[in-house]
Chain A
């Protein structure tokens, strides 16, 4: 592997941030999605509207928030609305273009688990925080982006628990749920980018990050990962992207 001047986490955050365009309306989960969206706002998308589930609309935080309801988000927001309003009028009412989610686990159809690891709901191996706003973000935003580190434990063939729906069982089964939204557009990881197959909606590897081998990605995936015939190597973070990202991360107190 070549010597790189950036970490795999930085590569993941930068490649996720590049999905966001100026003027996008984005509903943001805390953690990695918040970091990537805030980076995009400082690089190519200064006019992006960021919405957090605490009801902070079009917020412009100067430092990274620790939680979805930090005072920084509230003080710098265009408006602050109640939580029932966020979920009913903005998400269920279809006013958001992009939902940006993290996950504990995903499966090959982009369904997400953030609830429990283990087969027995009452006696799980690990109790995770649960749903929060994720099921509605996944169901009602026009498009969704998912980002998480890629390991065999996180990328599973079948989830123990479906917290938020991606493409359900694939092969257009999501359509039967009558969502007006499109489903997950990409899963961005520290190894590459996966996108859904147009026919089966199974996620396949379409981009690989510089210095990562295809075997490495396969080994970090819990299903037999298909590789796109036209696989692209992601362009490395620019100096500007890295500099802004590092400055941004340093603002989290």
Chain B
């Protein structure tokens, strides 16, 4: 049964300490509003999954919400390092995090296997690389038909899958258009799901393609306009590249980071207030 909830209530209801959570998004439609609400509610000891942990994961890490991270590329795309991620990895600050590292293909396949109800994903990958030495989840098997050496890793089935989408209809079906990364797979692989959307419409009547994900795989829908900012929502707003560059300066220094988080996230009571405040200052 799909519920229409406030983001505050949805996070409260589903995201508990020690749960595993995937907030997915591949450059486009990154669920920033949901990530900030987790920080606001000070939920910690989370096992996070994300192919491309970027600004919102840097914030979750820096605020001490994360105890384990499974990832395949941790950087600020086109800009450089993710400083809070690096500080956690190199100096265990603000806390020790267990890192489980993969390549994109492995994580995409692990989500797809999870979505398909499989215990593991089979693909070709990692041969000749150092990854099998540092990640004991990476195993190899011989194909029983061709005898080819194949790679096998456990599937990913997060407790909670969270994504941002452009629209939902009144019945709770959601619609995504543009770069969709592994978001569909994450919703299908997760035990419970939360989707933030730009808006709710009576009927999704889109003649220009896009993907519809039906209401019965979605537990909670929360309306959060601009909920992907500074990432983007195709058809609504563009990627705010200037902020990705600014984040480099904000996140480099622990104190500057904490001040920024205090000012914009902890001192605002919800995403609407956060968005208003940051836009007044930019």
Contact = CB atoms under 8 A, between A and B. Distances in A.
A129 B28 CA distance: 19
A124 interface: yes
Nearest to B126: A135
Nearest to A118: B90
A65 to B, nearest CB: 7
Contact of A92 (B89, B124, B184): B124
B27 interface: yes
Interface in A78-137: 80, 82-84, 86-88, 91-92, 115, 121, 123-124, 126-136
B73 A84 contact: no
Nearest to A92: B124
A66 interface: yes
A31 to B, nearest CB: 7
A164 B129 contact: yes
B94 interface: no
Interface residues of A, number: 53
Nearest to B237: A71
B86 A56 contact: no
Nearest to A113: B130
A71 B112 CA distance: 25
Contacts of B109: 84, 87-88
Given A54-B181, A74-B179, A164-B129, A83 B51 contact: yes
A105 B65 CA distance: 32
Given A54-B179, A55-B180, A174-B128, A67 B27 contact: yes
B225 interface: no
B260 interface: no
Contacts of B148: 178
A163 interface: yes
Given A66-B241, A83-B182, A135 B77 contact: no
Contacts of B179: 54-56, 69, 73-74, 80
B222 to A, nearest CB: 23
Contacts of B238: 71
B131 A71 contact: no
A130 B101 contact: yes
B254 interface: no
Contacts of B123: 87-88, 92
Contacts of B85: 127
Contacts of A87: 104-105, 108-109, 123
A66 B244 contact: yes
Interface in A2-55: 30-31, 53-55
Contact of A133 (B103, B124, B182): B103
B1 interface: no
Interface string B82-110: 10011001100000000001111100110
Nearest to A55: B179
Contacts of A86: 108
Contacts of B133: 121
Main secondary structure of the interface of B (DSSP, over half): loop
Chain B interface: which size bin? Answer: 35 or more
Interface string B27-51: 1100000000000000000000001
Nearest to B79: A66
A219 interface: no
Contact of A65 (B78, B182, B185, B234): B78
A87 B130 CA distance: 20
Interface string A143-181: 000000000000000000111110010000010011100
A56 B26 CA distance: 12
A71 B26 contact: no
Given A69-B179, A71-B238, A162-B130, A92 B105 contact: yes
| Most chain A beta-carbon contacts within 10 A, residue among B103, B109, B125, B149 | B103
A127 B242 contact: no
Contacts of A141: none
29 contacts: A55-B180, A67-B239, A69-B77, A70-B27, A74-B28, A74-B178, A75-B234, A80-B179, A82-B180, A82-B181, A83-B104, A83-B108, A84-B108, A84-B109, A84-B111, A84-B185, A88-B105, A88-B108, A88-B109, A129-B82, A130-B74, A132-B104, A139-B124, A139-B125, A139-B127, A140-B124, A162-B130, A165-B127, A178-B149
Interface of B: 26-28, 51-52, 71-75, 77-79, 81-82, 85-86, 89-90, 101-105, 108-109, 111-112, 123-131, 133-134, 148-149, 178-182, 184-185, 232, 234, 238-239, 241-242, 244
